[in-house]
Structure 1
């Protein structure tokens, strides 16, 4: 009888696990839009131009290039940024004028002191296959040149957005022990050397760092919604004031099975597109979410005004 009970328990656990995994896979793949060209095997940033065509960049190891994608995910055009290097390109964003910003600020070991952002014109206005960038440099004033202590390793970056005349940088937390906090820094959006200004922070989770590392960010075209991306979720921030992104309503959208999700953008004010990297046959796609159809878990509502 005991053996039978154990076998029944194992069978029930197996069925539950299979159902859960199957549901998680469906949650993600039901949102699939396209498979991305294999040459973009490490997509780290995406953005739409003024003609609603999708552009992407690769992570470190590639040339300093932008790639425009066809509707089927193949590469339609490449643009080389001639005065740039791809040390660790981690995200792409644009301002309301259509300028693109390319973030060469990956800092896995927290040892890079000066980080770079390349600013270019909207790719739709680039008539050849090359362009030059305006170069923005920044550093963290908290760093004094000595090694960063494990419990202070929060100077890696993979996410940023443009608002007004500033860029807002969201850190990828690598603290030990992991505390789940992404810090927000502000720098100017023009060529200069900046001391990044710490302005706010937000805690995602403290369970497993690889599940709640912030890997990309995006602002809606009307600048009223912010999303942060991690391996399992979209964090949606609404009804905030100016650049106090975390002051309003906060909700979480489950993205299903864990994959290496690295890039997110808005197509329009209601439509979000995100990508993941391919690993052992899973991922390597772009996915689409309609916010008015998404299931949102309310994390926090903005305080009511007295």
Structure 2
């Protein structure tokens, strides 16, 4: 599907600035978590929360800023087909994006809502979505929640498609709302987050983030775009806001590299 305003997207690329900013290491992630694929700061919790992706347990994990694992909660009524990202709401519920699709054969995708963090086992409410007719199956690794809708970004080399799904238990057909073509500064999106004041969006890749601001409603890519590089290239797949000006980032552990929690100033 091609939208009449796509030509404007090419113009927005001309407005992108690129700069390099230091990435600060906070701590090592808990040793048992080799493939941390997300990070989320949760209202009402003093822990940071993460998951592991396909082939790992259907658990959510809470750890402190010293890298100590404090919580391991089994989500007992769902399987970890390919958990890829986390987001949350202002009421303290956590949402797991089970929408990884490396082989691009999935027809149904899920978002699991978790609200009980007191026990070693919890159950999730299920939000299922399918893609619009005539849309080829996509791989997803990133999403966030804004005004009671999820915004889900496809992971592709040359562009990203943005789908919108309501935060409502049940089955839905996602709505394709946007398509953004990358230039040489941008790459596959591995995580996404929006600030608590809903004024800034960040999209993660292994060695950079794209910061989006001054957007209206969900016309994200018509806002101001800025690429912020790290000079640090690892398999970064987790991103969330610490506050409106700073983000937390995690990467997967590969031999002696990665497996850490970082802090990054986006201003």
User: 2:17 matched to 1:39?
Assistant: no
CA distance in structure 2 between the aligned counterparts of 1:68 and 1:96, rounded to whole angstroms: 18
Shift of 1:268: 1.1
Worse-superposed segment, 233-242 or 196-205: 196-205
CA contact (8 A) 2:63 2:69 kept: yes
User: 2:205 matched to 1:230?
Assistant: yes
Q: 2:64 aligns with which of 58, 62, 70?
A: 70
Unpaired runs of at least 5, structure 1: 1-23, 293-306
Compute the RMSD of aligned alpha carbons.
1.9
User: 2:58 matched to 1:58?
Assistant: no
The answer to which structure has the higher strand fraction is 2
3-state SS of the aligned residue for 1:259? coil
Unpaired runs of at least 5, structure 2: 1-19
Kindly tell me the number of residue pairs found equivalent between the two proteins: 247
Shift of 1:143: 4.2
Q: Which has the higher contact order (CA 8 A, sep 6+)?
A: 2
Quick check: which has more Rg, 1 or 2? 1
> After TM superposition, which residue ranges in structure 1, 4 or more long, deviate above 6 angstroms?
none
CA distance in structure 2 between the aligned counterparts of 1:206 and 1:224, rounded to whole angstroms: 26
2:176 is aligned to 198
- Pairs within 5 Å for 1:175-254: 178=157, 180-205=158-183, 212-254=187-229
Q: TM-score, normalised by structure 2?
A: 0.87
CA distance in structure 1 between the aligned counterparts of 2:74 and 2:36, rounded to whole angstroms: 16
1:158 is aligned to 141
CA contact (8 A) 1:54 1:68 kept: yes
Q: TM-score, normalised by structure 1?
A: 0.76
CA distance in structure 2 between the aligned counterparts of 1:280 and 1:120, rounded to whole angstroms: 32
Q: 2:84 aligns with which of 78, 83, 90?
A: 90
The answer to which structure has the higher helix fraction is 1
Change (3 A) 1:83 1:143: farther
3-state SS of the aligned residue for 1:246? helix
CA distance in structure 1 between the aligned counterparts of 2:248 and 2:205, rounded to whole angstroms: 13
